Structure 1
Amino acid sequence: MVAWISKGFWERVARVILRNRILILLIITGLTVFLAVQWKNMRFTYTEANLLPDHHPVNIQYNKFLETFGEEGNLIVLAVKDPSLFTPEHFNLWNRLSKQLNAFPEVDLVVSTENLRELVKNDEKQQFELNPLITHPLESEEAIDTLKQHLFHELPFYEGLLFNKETQTIRTAVYLDKEIVNTPVRKDFIFNDFVPLIEKFEKNTGLKVHVSGMPYVRTLNSQNIIDEIGGFILAALGVTSLIFFFFFRSFRATFISMIVVIIGVMWAFGTLGLLHYEITVLTALIPPLIIVIGIPNCIFLINKYQQEIQKHGNQAKSLQRVVSKVGNATLMTNATTAIGFASFIVTESTLLKEFGIVASINIMTIFILSLLIIPVIYSFMPVPKNRHLKHLNKKWIGGFVKWNVHIVKHRRIAISITSIVLLILGIIGIYQIKISGSLIEDMPKNTDFFRDIRFFEKEFDGIMPLEITIDTKRKNGVMKLSTLRRMDELENLITDIPGLSKPISVVNLVKYSKQAYYNGNPNYYQLPTNQENHFILSYARKSSDNADLLHSFVDSTGQIARITTFMQDMGTDNMEDALEQVQTTIKKLFPEDRYEVTLTGKALVFMKGTKYLVNNLIASLALAVFLISLFMAYMFRSFRMILISLVPNIFPLLITAGVMGYLGIPIKPSTILVFSIAFGISVDDTIHFLAKYRQELVSNGWKIRKSVYAALRETGVSMFYTSIVLLFGFSVFTTSSFGGTVALGGLVSITLLFAMMSNLILLPSLLLSLEKSIANRKILKEPNFDVLTGDDDDS
């Protein structure tokens, strides 16, 4: 009864579509215009991906830090490593560049040799003062040499901040206005003002300026994402249309398919705008994904239409059967794919939740568009000629299917042994997989800004901030000498850890104050003794300039101190080892009853977010498997068939995970997506095969062997077509400059290749090997609805 209603439903849908062709085209056109208008609401991301939910303790700590000290990722650094910088002409132009940058309203502060100040003691006023290091342009090399000597050997406070004494690299620190760091203003400033000014300096001097810092890196990285979207869409259209034309040898069929997916892409962008979601490195993949996933829909529908035309030549009946006979199958396969993407919604990560929502919605809309547009457009066109139908009789495709049947029929033992060996190798490889929580690992390696990141890692030990806050639990507790000594010991440990930069904190300022108290003697750049502390603090309290500096390192109550260090991209394992060393020292130096010490910063938040995401995505993959299993249970009403159907789909995932282990591809936000995406897509072939298999069982009097071979011959061509389109479609992503996108494209392609072979070889072999346990009507009951309806002629 339910099956009859399902069949009747699709026949009614077919009649509605064909009787309301003009209205449907007008509705699609209207919705396309409406969604195109929503493009104006699309926003490109201006922050790093926060993979943690807002209520996560690590996020709470980070937000608390921001409330106390403000945005920490507002620093852009410039550096020159070239002896010719230290000539009067070049050095004065370098200082002029700093002054020009400081004049922009988007810049809060510039710290450079141009405005460098030296802390000196004023005995008459009994206070410290900040005097300019340079009061006028330097006219001779002798003056510059004197400045270098003073800077590199007598001002240790600025070492690691403004210069590298060993390599004589000079650096300028540009602090952006914290209010504009995470807004579009940042992008406009960097591209319209900042970059042209740097390029002008390089042109005038011939010096190479290295630029980095999180605001700069984020801006250029976001622009790379934007630049790649158009390229991906064109590449996906080009590859899929070429493959489609190769299969069908029809410009008409190719053109219609391209119309469907182009409208699908427009709707995808419109959905992003309508929901006011940001375009991130993930959501940027959705439009080309829609092309790759939409083309198989077109293949199924157009192939069925041409098969019907070849059978009886009646266009009206053919178009009706396209909807009534293939509509259910394409709905089911698109639904399972959408479930694979929708499983990301449960991760509690805003980034993945938005990706899952938009992707799953648009996978279902591309199904609807395919089902509506293809029959309607073909209804206005003449009946396909014989030359358009030649591909249906291609011998090489038939040969491929015959080869599959032969392998399944005569090589089942070899298939079993090969599958077991691959499974064992895959499991061994899985144990070699590592987790990566690097902020910059996926960034394009061939760009200047990435090479500059490596430059700053070498010269100044990194650009990714790691913040340590020390709450003394009492007002003005930071300036107690006992607290400063504990902080100094912690900073000495941090300095000794490879991959972490020399820390910056109030300790440096107190040491500088002692140096100034002893008339600038660098030998006194150290913490004061108890006796010295009284005199030095009496000078410091009277110094307003010193107070301004202090507020950068200590909160307004004097209760909370901040230690800032920068991290190299050292890999997750090394990062965890470094953090463990820091945590161990903190526990030893700062008793919990007297101090509350917190580690935070964008690098730490991203690393913790990656681990959180891996755990959540494993759960989401399990959810996708469970939901699709329920779906299969509803379709086939057989527990054993569910288990059989899962084997050829989980098997490729295990093989791909093993490949990741052997190739050293880590688990990270981009690569973990592979499994849910591939599972949702690969199960489509299983549904097609098992639905046809069950249909053949009924037709052949429950003869397993005959039904398996018949189902394989019937569905093998469609499975091959769609798998090849998907494989080459996803391989488009390997052209990306982002490492994560390359890995995603390559791994999904590998998984889908294994999935195709599993469904064409392993699944039929399992059915034949287990024929005695499944070849009865009690196990394979009448399905709740027909995925594939019969081919009887309706007269």
Structure 2
Amino acid sequence: MSKLKKSRFWDTVARLILRNKIGILITVVLITILFSTQWKYMRFTYTEANLLPDDHEVNIEYNKFLNIFGEEGNLIILGVKDSTLFTVDKLNAWNALSETFREDDEVITVASIKDLQKLLKNTESQRFDLEPFIKDSIHSQAQIDTLQYELFTQYPFYDNFLFNKETKTIRSAIYLKKDIVNTPARKDFVVDKLIKRIDAFEKATNLDVRVSGMPYIRTLNAQNIVDEIGLFVVGALVVTSLIFFLFFRSFRATLISLVVVCIGVMWTLGILGLLKYEITVLTALIPPLIIVIGIPNCIFLINKYQQEVKLHGNKVKSLQRVITKVGNATLMTNMTTASGFATFIITESTLLKEFGVVASLSIIAIFILCLLIIPIIYTFLPYPKDRHLEHLNKRWVGGFVDWTERMVKEKRIAIYITVCCLVITCIIGIYKIKISGSLIEDMPKKTEFFKDIRFFEQEFNGIMPLEIMINTKREKGVMKSTTLKRMNELEDLIIDIPELSRPISIVSLVKYSKQAFYNGNPKYYQLPTKQEEAFILPYVKNSASGDTSMLSNFVDSTGQYARITTFMKDIGTDKMEEIEDDLEAKIKKLFPKDRYEVTITGKALVFQKGTTYLVKNLALSLSLAIFLIALFMAYMFRSFRMIVVSLIPNLLPLVVTAGLMGFLGVPIKPSTILVFSIAFGISVDDTIHFLAKYRQELQANNWKIKKSVYGALRETGVSMFYTSIVLFFGFSIFIISSFGGTVALGALVSITLLFAMLSNLLLLPSLLLSLERSIANKQILKKPTINIIPEESEGDINNDYNDKKK
């Protein structure tokens, strides 16, 4: 598109907006109402973030496990570590609390101390009978003493399941129905029943009840996400509007900006509902992001309007020029920002794909709203007062710009040396970066449920399930003695790994059966020998025929598949990979591939693999962002050299941020992966403005390089400073989050954008001056494909002068 056609296009846009202002405002209101009708379709996530593509091998294996054994994350644990629990009244109250949950529709079963059964040998029927440890209720302290003796010394099958014999910690297990675990019914049960009953129990008994398990953790964590959406939106509005007011000293301008970004947030929520996307820990960040990104758009438009008014005093002409001159620039900068977010669409992770779609669409939407609403509203308002224009002459901002000009003019070598030292130092830091695949690392550390996670980690070695599924490739292959012995050896390795809890499987039940066969003698809690199998197996089969639930949790209905369940502490990706390697090495030795197929799976492993997958895709995502923005530069300037020069100042802040992450111990994880593409997409906006103004200055100054660089620096320095400050404090809002990943995201993006501002104000002009002749090619820069900042014609200048005289 030629410069003339481009100018005519934006002139046409300006006329359409200003001549159809009532119709446009009505359209905006109607669209906003339409989007508001979609809010009811917004859904808060009821599952963990699955970072892997649906067709990924790890997901396929995990879904296969779920199809055979059902949902694994349906367990809620209640725990008490208090010696006074072992008194008649309190122990009865504890058992009664567990019984109340058994009556709830959402619960399959409850396992508490009162539910524990002894396996007793019935010689007459050649079967094992079940007899409860507590037949009715506790009546005396002597009963409690007997119970403690039996549980803690005689029955190792239950150790580390409902009690810890070393610390005397007791817990109860509530198994939710598997079909409600990922639905709103789970939240209703946890909030309306579980928490209320526990609170009442604590008040009545003065016992501290610890609660954990994935359904409970996910419910409270999701509630924290919901609560923080409002906190972030209000915080972003307050901080950005306060900074905006300090710059412009105008309540009117501040209010207009708030109206625009609030409508933008309403549209964002409408997009979420329209697309039927879930609100996750990432999509919850988009509304405040739109505020933070939208305010700089408002600054550019309102600042240009006030400059034009001060220049010639003609309001209509000022508003027309706001659209024609700033419209194209803000379009390109918003497109580059949207591109940074849109790169997440290619990751094939549903979580990041949805984040990228909604964020990029919302950024385009906020640009359209700013371009339409701000000029239209100002047509109805009187001229700005003199006090509203004072900020255009602020000396302290001018002083900052003068400092950058002096640095570029006199300290260019020092700038290059500083940059080189920074790069070398940060490369060292990059090698210190670790990857984190923890399910709970980003959860709020100060909440009670997080403290309870740590409690159960200490008492029972974790709450995050890790599953090993064994396919014997034949029916009833699990109960073969060779299979059981192989599983037992694998369990011995798991027991030796301190980050894993004692495993539970059919092996434990078979050992318990042998103990029962020998009249409960705990020294016989071991696998039966070949000779013993002939005597014990009939007892097991007769018992199983009468009560299939004994086996159903450990073996599928065909007897072909078995599971070994253990629970894992919160550990890093490196340690998890070590554990996985150890397990796989042992599995290869124990289970020949021609006879067995063994799979390690579980939520914790899926999440860890998802994080590793995202890290591998980070380079692709960031490379695409750089490539897309380079295309914008090529399309605008048609110069490969200009592309290289423009990218260097924007890649430097990313290197600095990555180095800081390494030195500060901030790991690469799903939340911090976002930093690089987001920051790059935003920081390049300043480069576009600067280079566009630089090209214009070259033409105005007859291709005098130094004069053009300093002119561009003075002209764009103030707007860069304004927008960077807004973005810095806007993203800093996320530091108030209770989620560690969100805090890291806010802090890192803020730091990156601050470095980006300095890099564009110091390094970019220095490079232009140092490379002078090789870059300032008249044939290339004289006729850009896109004219970001239209030149002032002589007629415009004369008209401005005449308008001012009038």
TM-score w.r.t. structure 2 length? 0.98
Q: Tell me which amino acid in the other structure corresponds to 1:290.
A: I
Mapping of 1:619-634 within 5 angstroms? 619-634=620-635
Mapping of 1:202-217 within 5 angstroms? 202-217=202-217
TM-aligned CA deviation for residue 342 of structure 1:
0.3
**Separation in 2 of the partners of 1:570 and 1:775?**
54
Q: Tell me which amino acid in the other structure corresponds to 2:16.
A: V
TM-aligned CA deviation for residue 448 of structure 1:
0.3
SS of residue paired to 2:470: strand
SS of residue paired to 1:467: strand
Q: Tell me which amino acid in the other structure corresponds to 1:749.
A: S
Match of residue 15 from structure 2: 15
Match of residue 409 from structure 1: 409
Q: Tell me which amino acid in the other structure corresponds to 1:403.
A: W
Residues 82 and 207 in structure 2, CA contact (< 8 A), matched pair in contact too: yes
**Separation in 2 of the partners of 1:618 and 1:606?**
20
Match of residue 553 from structure 1: 554
**Separation in 2 of the partners of 1:227 and 1:233?**
11
**Separation in 2 of the partners of 1:426 and 1:5?**
46
SS of residue paired to 2:462: coil
Residues 672 and 745 in structure 2, CA contact (< 8 A), matched pair in contact too: yes
1:284-313 superposed Cα distances (whole Å, 9 cap, x missing partner):
000000000000000000000000000011
SS of residue paired to 1:108: strand
**Separation in 1 of the partners of 2:782 and 2:702?**
14
Residues 412 and 766 in structure 2, CA contact (< 8 A), matched pair in contact too: yes
1:383-411 superposed Cα distances (whole Å, 9 cap, x missing partner):
11111101101111111111111110000
Match of residue 357 from structure 1: 357
1:747 partnered with 2:783:
no
SS of residue paired to 2:364: helix
**Separation in 2 of the partners of 1:342 and 1:364?**
11
Match of residue 515 from structure 1: 515
Match of residue 345 from structure 1: 345
Residues 518 and 524 in structure 2, CA contact (< 8 A), matched pair in contact too: yes
1:639 partnered with 2:640:
yes
**Separation in 2 of the partners of 1:681 and 1:251?**
27
Match of residue 661 from structure 1: 662
Match of residue 694 from structure 2: 693
Mapping of 1:674-753 within 5 angstroms? 674-753=675-754
Match of residue 40 from structure 2: 40
Match of residue 802 from structure 2: none
Residues 408 and 762 in structure 2, CA contact (< 8 A), matched pair in contact too: yes
1:624-645 superposed Cα distances (whole Å, 9 cap, x missing partner):
1001101110000000000000
Residues 637 and 781 in structure 1, CA contact (< 8 A), matched pair in contact too: no
Mapping of 1:527-566 within 5 angstroms? 527-543=527-543, 544-566=545-567
**Separation in 1 of the partners of 2:270 and 2:658?**
35
Q: Tell me which amino acid in the other structure corresponds to 1:770.
A: L
Match of residue 231 from structure 1: 231
Match of residue 776 from structure 1: 777
1:453 partnered with 2:453:
yes
1:420 partnered with 2:420:
yes
TM-aligned CA deviation for residue 617 of structure 1:
2.3
**Separation in 1 of the partners of 2:221 and 2:206?**
26
Residues 435 and 572 in structure 2, CA contact (< 8 A), matched pair in contact too: no
Match of residue 292 from structure 1: 292
Mapping of 1:237-636 within 5 angstroms? 237-543=237-543, 544-636=545-637
**Separation in 2 of the partners of 1:266 and 1:580?**
48
Q: How many residues align?
A: 795
**Separation in 1 of the partners of 2:438 and 2:99?**
34
SS of residue paired to 2:38: helix
Residues 541 and 547 in structure 1, CA contact (< 8 A), matched pair in contact too: no
**Separation in 2 of the partners of 1:264 and 1:780?**
36
Aligned-pair identity in percent equals 69
TM-aligned CA deviation for residue 547 of structure 1:
2.8
Unaligned runs of 5+ in 1: none
TM-aligned CA deviation for residue 498 of structure 1:
1.3
Off by >2 Å, runs of 4+ in structure 1: 544-547, 778-781, 791-795
Match of residue 3 from structure 1: 3
1:790 partnered with 2:779:
no
TM-aligned CA deviation for residue 779 of structure 1:
4.4
**Separation in 2 of the partners of 1:779 and 1:528?**
85
TM-aligned CA deviation for residue 776 of structure 1:
2.4
Q: Tell me which amino acid in the other structure corresponds to 1:305.
A: Y
Q: Tell me which amino acid in the other structure corresponds to 1:645.
A: S
Residues 653 and 759 in structure 2, CA contact (< 8 A), matched pair in contact too: yes
1:101-139 superposed Cα distances (whole Å, 9 cap, x missing partner):
111010111111122211111111111111222111111
Residues 640 and 779 in structure 1, CA contact (< 8 A), matched pair in contact too: no
TM-aligned CA deviation for residue 781 of structure 1:
4.8
Residues 160 and 460 in structure 1, CA contact (< 8 A), matched pair in contact too: yes
**Separation in 1 of the partners of 2:587 and 2:441?**
29
**Separation in 1 of the partners of 2:723 and 2:571?**
41
Match of residue 27 from structure 1: 27
Residues 265 and 290 in structure 1, CA contact (< 8 A), matched pair in contact too: yes
1:552-597 superposed Cα distances (whole Å, 9 cap, x missing partner):
1011111111000000002111111111111111111111111110
**Separation in 2 of the partners of 1:264 and 1:296?**
14
Unaligned runs of 5+ in 2: 800-806
Mapping of 1:158-237 within 5 angstroms? 158-237=158-237
SS of residue paired to 1:114: helix
Residues 689 and 715 in structure 1, CA contact (< 8 A), matched pair in contact too: yes
TM-aligned CA deviation for residue 546 of structure 1:
4.9
Mapping of 1:148-159 within 5 angstroms? 148-159=148-159
TM-aligned CA deviation for residue 227 of structure 1:
0.5
Q: Tell me which amino acid in the other structure corresponds to 1:11.
A: D
1:70-102 superposed Cα distances (whole Å, 9 cap, x missing partner):
000001111100000000000000000110011
Residues 699 and 782 in structure 2, CA contact (< 8 A), matched pair in contact too: no
Residues 637 and 780 in structure 2, CA contact (< 8 A), matched pair in contact too: no
Residues 464 and 567 in structure 1, CA contact (< 8 A), matched pair in contact too: yes
SS of residue paired to 2:778: coil
TM-score w.r.t. structure 1 length? 0.99
**Separation in 2 of the partners of 1:462 and 1:488?**
21
1:409-468 superposed Cα distances (whole Å, 9 cap, x missing partner):
000000000000001111111011011000000000000000000000000000000000
1:658-710 superposed Cα distances (whole Å, 9 cap, x missing partner):
00000000000000100000000000000000000001111111111010000
Residues 644 and 766 in structure 1, CA contact (< 8 A), matched pair in contact too: yes
1:652 partnered with 2:653:
yes
1:7-66 superposed Cα distances (whole Å, 9 cap, x missing partner):
111111111111111111100000111111110000000000000000000000000000
**Separation in 2 of the partners of 1:40 and 1:754?**
41
TM-aligned CA deviation for residue 764 of structure 1:
0.2
Q: Tell me which amino acid in the other structure corresponds to 1:621.
A: L
TM-aligned CA deviation for residue 791 of structure 1:
2.9
1:461-486 superposed Cα distances (whole Å, 9 cap, x missing partner):
00000000111111111101111011
Match of residue 671 from structure 1: 672
**Separation in 1 of the partners of 2:777 and 2:182?**
63
1:729-787 superposed Cα distances (whole Å, 9 cap, x missing partner):
00000000000000000000000000000000000000001002112224435101211
**Separation in 1 of the partners of 2:628 and 2:752?**
20
